[in-house]
Structure 1
Amino acid sequence: MKSLKIAGVPEHFNLPWQLAIENKNFEEVGIDLEWTAIPEGTGKLCQMLRDGSTDIAVILTEGIIKDIVNGNNSKLVQIYVESPLIWGIHVAANSKYKTLADLENTKVAISRFGSGSELMAYVNADNQGWDKKSLTFEVVNTIDGAVTALTNGTADYFMWEHFMTKPLVDKGIFRRVADCPTPWPSFVIAVREEILQENPEEIKKLLEVINKQTQSFKSIPNIDVVLANQFNQKIEDIQQWLKLTQWSQSPFNEAQLETIQNQLLELNIIDKKAPFINLVIAL
């Protein structure tokens, strides 16, 4: 039995991993997979890949590409979620800011630098024609930290996944002023190079297991009820999210990654492009 460590955000996208672990699907192919939930998100996951505290990460596309370009010794083995991530743009419920335009030149709450919440602030600023260089940030670590920062006024808005943040909108803690979808597939699976070199067959088997799980995930009886209960969501919101979400069982192709890197370069999220072979490994 090969032991492997995997980490990802504690969100509905990752329930397929939880179910496959609970059903012992990985054990059936000789893998003891240990899942760690990371509420801090992409910046923390990049750090964990770098320091070896995880072997594998289910991680936002833009964040891990930026970190590999900047020296993270990991490779992308597959797209995990093909559909865009819908980032809600949130203010405190009693905020004086009413529209997206009002948020120009205000302070953004982010989980940490290098996180999706930072990088998508640049995407949003570019979409709105704002000066990206004028963006200022308040590091809040988690969604709870964002609640504190927006309530206290130490930050003005916070970008986080639309549906996971909706309970805070429903409770009157946040108010959502707009959405900002990613212009690329939302999640990828990244593996440390050392693990890939030592265990290529195990990683192949792991991908086969999770791909089988994601292919049939939407057809699991009452999966909408399971998701709603587990993630404190309204059933109608989960049903809408399931309609919008498309998992992938495919690796990156060169043209696709070239397009994403061009977008990241244009947004100044990366300052250079990496060769395809430096970013992706075919298994």
Structure 2
Amino acid sequence: MKKINIGGVPEHFNLAWYLTLKNGEYKEENINLRWHDYYGGTGAMCKALRNKEIDLAVILTEGIIKDIIDGNPSKIVQTFVQTPLVWGIHVAANSSFKSIEDIKGTRAAISRYGSGSHLMAYINAENHNWDLKTDLNFEVIKDLDGAVKGLTEGVADYFMWEKFTTKPLVDDGTFRRIGDCPTPWPCFVIAAREEFIENNPEELKAILDIINNTTLDFKDIPSIDKTIANRYEQQLEDVQEWLSITEWSQHLIDKDTVMKTQKELFALDIIPEIAKYEDLVFKV
């Protein structure tokens, strides 16, 4: 049985992986797929791919595109979630900041440089016509727990994270959400190390076939809203809203989307060049 390591954030988007693992579907294909939670998000997974700690990652589109251009020897093999990610813009509950204009020029808490929370701070700044050189400041806080500590203790001023994941922290009075910022592209892709793709083409195809079979009918799983609410400690109505706006994908990200994403990142000076589509993706 071949051992294969995959990483992802421990969030509701990835429940389909948990279900297929629980059902032993990969073992039926002689694959010992081991899931690893990355609380530090995309930046931590990019590092893990580079260090060969994981073979596959369910990762933010903009983050992996940037890291491949920066030398990560990996490729995008499929889109995982087709719809945008809605990032909530959060401040500490007792903060004096009431609007997005209030946080202009203050300190954004980010999990690490090159992470989604870092890149989306630029997208938010651009959306509001801020000066990207003077109106953006960063404080590295590693993960969501670090953000809670950082905002509460005044080390940083605002924090961007997927809004349904942070909703319990808004509900319990830790954070206050002052705005939203959707990604201008499909949010999650599946990336694989080039060496892994080359040496394990059959296993890679089998893994994608299994997960795609589950995501295709994910919303039709009986009581899936209750399962998500219980597992991720979320309000049922929030889960139902999230399900209503989320679509999974079973296809490779298309050239137009990759180029649009790169143009946005290049304009923000996040990537130094626009790469060829073929250098970023691999069709299984």
TM-score computed with the length of structure 2 as normaliser:
0.98
Structure 2 counterpart of 1:58, one-letter code: V
- Using the TM superposition, give the Cα deviation of residue 276 of structure 1 relative to its aligned residue in structure 2, in angstroms: 1.3
Residue matched to 2:116: 116
**In structure 2, how many angstroms separate the alpha carbons of the residues matched to 1:231 and 1:37?**
14
Residue matched to 1:101: 101
Structure 2 counterpart of 1:275, one-letter code: K
**In structure 1, how many angstroms separate the alpha carbons of the residues matched to 2:91 and 2:256?**
37
Residue matched to 2:251: 250
Residue matched to 2:14: 14
- Which stretches in structure 2 are left out of the alignment for 5+ residues? none
Structure 2 counterpart of 1:73, one-letter code: P
Residue matched to 1:125: 125
Structure 1 counterpart of 2:282, one-letter code: I
Q: Kindly indicate whether residue 164 of structure 2 is the aligned counterpart of residue 171 of structure 1.
A: no
Residue matched to 2:91: 91
1:3-43 residue CA offsets vs partner (Å, 9 max, x unmatched): 10000000000000000000011111221100001111000
Residue matched to 1:270: 271
- Using the TM superposition, give the Cα deviation of residue 258 of structure 1 relative to its aligned residue in structure 2, in angstroms: 1.3
**8 Å contact kept, 2:78–2:190:** yes
**In structure 2, how many angstroms separate the alpha carbons of the residues matched to 1:133 and 1:267?**
10
**In structure 1, how many angstroms separate the alpha carbons of the residues matched to 2:46 and 2:31?**
23
- Using the TM superposition, give the Cα deviation of residue 274 of structure 1 relative to its aligned residue in structure 2, in angstroms: 1.2
**In structure 2, how many angstroms separate the alpha carbons of the residues matched to 1:144 and 1:122?**
22
3-state secondary structure, aligned to 1:133: coil
Report 1:63-74 matches (<5 A).
63-74=63-74
3-state secondary structure, aligned to 1:233: coil
**In structure 2, how many angstroms separate the alpha carbons of the residues matched to 1:218 and 1:186?**
18
- Using the TM superposition, give the Cα deviation of residue 61 of structure 1 relative to its aligned residue in structure 2, in angstroms: 0.3
1:118-176 residue CA offsets vs partner (Å, 9 max, x unmatched): 00000000000001112111111111110111111110000000000000000011000
Structure 2 counterpart of 1:217, one-letter code: F
Structure 1 counterpart of 2:255, one-letter code: E
Structure 2 counterpart of 1:57, one-letter code: A
**In structure 1, how many angstroms separate the alpha carbons of the residues matched to 2:270 and 2:28?**
41
**In structure 1, how many angstroms separate the alpha carbons of the residues matched to 2:44 and 2:169?**
23
- Using the TM superposition, give the Cα deviation of residue 277 of structure 1 relative to its aligned residue in structure 2, in angstroms: 1.4
3-state secondary structure, aligned to 2:251: coil
**In structure 2, how many angstroms separate the alpha carbons of the residues matched to 1:263 and 1:138?**
23
**In structure 1, how many angstroms separate the alpha carbons of the residues matched to 2:53 and 2:175?**
34
**In structure 2, how many angstroms separate the alpha carbons of the residues matched to 1:239 and 1:249?**
22
Structure 1 counterpart of 2:281, one-letter code: V
Residue matched to 1:231: 232
Residue matched to 2:27: 27
**In structure 2, how many angstroms separate the alpha carbons of the residues matched to 1:258 and 1:160?**
24
- Using the TM superposition, give the Cα deviation of residue 255 of structure 1 relative to its aligned residue in structure 2, in angstroms: 2.1
Structure 1: 4+ residue segments shifted above 6 A: none
Structure 1 counterpart of 2:6, one-letter code: I
Q: Kindly indicate whether residue 43 of structure 2 is the aligned counterpart of residue 43 of structure 1.
A: yes
Structure 1 counterpart of 2:153, one-letter code: N
**In structure 2, how many angstroms separate the alpha carbons of the residues matched to 1:255 and 1:30?**
36
Q: Kindly indicate whether residue 60 of structure 2 is the aligned counterpart of residue 60 of structure 1.
A: yes
**In structure 2, how many angstroms separate the alpha carbons of the residues matched to 1:83 and 1:30?**
32
3-state secondary structure, aligned to 1:52: coil
**In structure 1, how many angstroms separate the alpha carbons of the residues matched to 2:271 and 2:242?**
30
3-state secondary structure, aligned to 1:34: strand
3-state secondary structure, aligned to 2:217: helix
**8 Å contact kept, 2:185–2:257:** no
**In structure 2, how many angstroms separate the alpha carbons of the residues matched to 1:138 and 1:205?**
41
Residue matched to 2:205: 204
3-state secondary structure, aligned to 1:148: helix
**In structure 1, how many angstroms separate the alpha carbons of the residues matched to 2:204 and 2:47?**
21
